[in-house]
Amino acid sequence: MKVTINDVAAQAGVSIKTVSRVINNEPSVRPATRKKVIDAVEALNYQPNLAARNLAGTRSYTIAFIYDNPNAYYVIDMQNGILEACRARGYELLIHPSNAKSDAVHDELKNLVRHSRIAGLVLTPPFSEDQAIIDTVRSLDLHYVRILSAAAAEDDEENCIQVDDNGAAYALTKHLLELNHRRIGFLCGSEGHISTRARLDGYRRALREAGLPIEKELILKGEYAFDSGVEGAKKLLQSANPPTAIFASNDEIAAGALFAARLMDIKIPEQLSIVGFEDSPFSRQTWPKLTTAHQPNNEIAKCAAALVLNKARSKGTENGKAHKEAGIQKEFTPELVIRDSSGPAPG
């Protein structure tokens, strides 16, 4: 027999209206009462009909996650983090894959907002980095949060979660320099992504600080894909003066580079060190396991969702002013994770 809101109210010893206020995350409920209702919801495994609630009122209880990213691990982590934040606040999640390069993407976004009655958007790269997309979102008078691999503009800081890819790439490169590597190849990710430029800038900064030249032949364009890592590594390792280490812009590229090195019978890390970025499952599924930078995508997504939900819940209250964003982390620096793919430079 399906549990109803009446059952929850009876279990908690409160009115149906109070249960509704707790489910809707309204602030006008005493903590002790809120706890009784939440305990009753959990004990009875009550599942509120969010779709009906959306239709019944003028307020939306759905946020959307719009993405265009070939990395399935990244997308799954983002989905799980956003979903966790939504469930904790009684919201639903609409997942919408899209093609950021499509000419129709702006009309697609407008139609999504018009037909789905969403309360806000979580935008990840490349959408979060596209000013034209941001202008379209603003024109729709919609709450949004951008996840960026760089510092946000001053006029948009309150809508951004920043990931310091530059600082993490600097730390990874410095790790290789401390192992006495002086020729370090760099395999870029997809052009147009701020993360690609930020990670490359961090690499260059570490080399300059060490007094080393920036050698253009050691920096290769590519994509955030395994095959790109294979091709890039082969090109670097077949050159007249190959590097002793390779910095790959993500773990998938690094796994491809490691595969290419094995095909060429190059020992890792005795003859060549390889590092990746993000600490995705790719970094732990290779042999040897990859040195990388741990990027907490699940936590980043959870914070982004919490931020946009705070904005959505505050709409129309407190004279339009948003609730304080206490406890929401808005800046992340991926942390160095040293594993077996990096070692002292040969010789």
Which residues, other chains included, contact 185 with Cβ-Cβ below 8 Å and sequence gap of 6+?
A: 218, 219, 220, 232, 233, 236, 242, 243, 245, 246, 247
pLDDT tens, residue by residue, 66-107: 888 777 888 999 999 999 998 887 888 888 888 888 888 888
pLDDT at res. 27:
60
Q: Which amino acid is at 321?
A: K
pLDDT at res. 59:
53
Find, among 222, 259, 207, the residue nearest to 237 by Cα: 259
pLDDT at res. 82:
93
pLDDT at res. 319:
37
pLDDT at res. 323:
44
Low-confidence ranges of the chain (pLDDT < 50): 50-58, 316-324
Q: In the chain, what are the domains?
A: 5-48 (1.10.260.40), 58-164+296-332 (3.40.50.2300), 167-293 (3.40.50.2300)
Structure tokens belonging to residue 175? 């790790």
pTM over 0.75: yes
pLDDT at res. 54:
44
pLDDT at res. 322:
42
According to the 3-state scheme, what is the secondary structure of the chain?
CCCCHHHHHHHHCCCHHHHHHHHCCCCCCCHHHHHHHHHHHHHHCCCCCHHHHHHHCCCCCEEEEEECCCCHHHHHHHHHHHHHHHHHHCCEEEEEECCCCCCCHHHHHHHHHHHHCCCEEEECCCHHHCHHHHHHHHHCCCEEEEEECCCCCHHHHHHEEEECHHHHHHHHHHHHHHCCCCCEEEECCCCCCHHHHHHHHHHHHHHHHCCCCCCHHHEECCCCCHHHHHHHHHHHHCCCCCCCEEEECCHHHHHHHHHHHHHCCCCCCCCCEEECCECCHHHHHCCCCCEEEECCHHHHHHHHHHHHHHHHHHCCCHHHCCCCCCCCCCEECCEEECCCCCCCCCC
pLDDT at res. 51:
45
pLDDT at res. 137:
87
pLDDT at res. 46:
77
